[in-house]
Chain A
Amino acid sequence: GQNIDQPTEMTATEGAIVQINCTYQTSGFNGLFWYQQHAGEAPTFLSYNVLDGLEEKGRFSSFLSRSKGYSYLLLKELQMKDSASYLCAVRDGIKAAGNKLTFGGGTRVLVKP
């Protein structure tokens, strides 16, 4: 099974940086995803990590340490539109699980002026 933990809520100021941590305990591991979800909308894909290290994509970066069961999503130069929930999800390493994802509870980020 999978257990995924992330903070419930974070507040940051426009233009600042926020780091959202995600820790996981899994029976297998085959990749970690971050999704963004605005209130009342469907989740949209942000990033994917399967190897250790940092993946950078514009203002967003995601880091993975498989040995520590740890990932973070880094949001730089925060904008008001970044106010949303950020979902950490792990793909099981068991072949039969295919592409099934287990999601954490999500971190609600509030960006203030």
Chain B
Amino acid sequence: DAKTTQPPSMDCAEGRAANLPCNHSTISGNEYVYWYRQIHSQGPQYIIHGLKNNETNEMASLIITEDRKSSTLILPHATLRDTAVYYCIVSKTGANSKLTFGKGITLSVRP
């Protein structure tokens, strides 16, 4: 599976949009981009995933560049409860696909 690169941390103000970047320059055509987050002392929680089109759900939006070498997770109106470690993961489809977590990015939402 392709590796991902994320900055170690970022912060944003409550109520503002949080834009979390991820680089995955070696992604291949059959690999999806997944985002999970982990709030302190809890297990990771699925947020969203996509292949090449932008995706949106009730939690977030995922913007994938046209060359698929990078993506951005957008939390449109960050709250204090969004403070967590966010993991960007690239994973193949098909049999033997697996989720390999990196170090993630720590998002701190300030009041």
**B is bound to A:** no
Q: Which residues of B contact A (CB under 8 A)?
A: none
Q: Which residues of A contact B (CB under 8 A)?
A: none
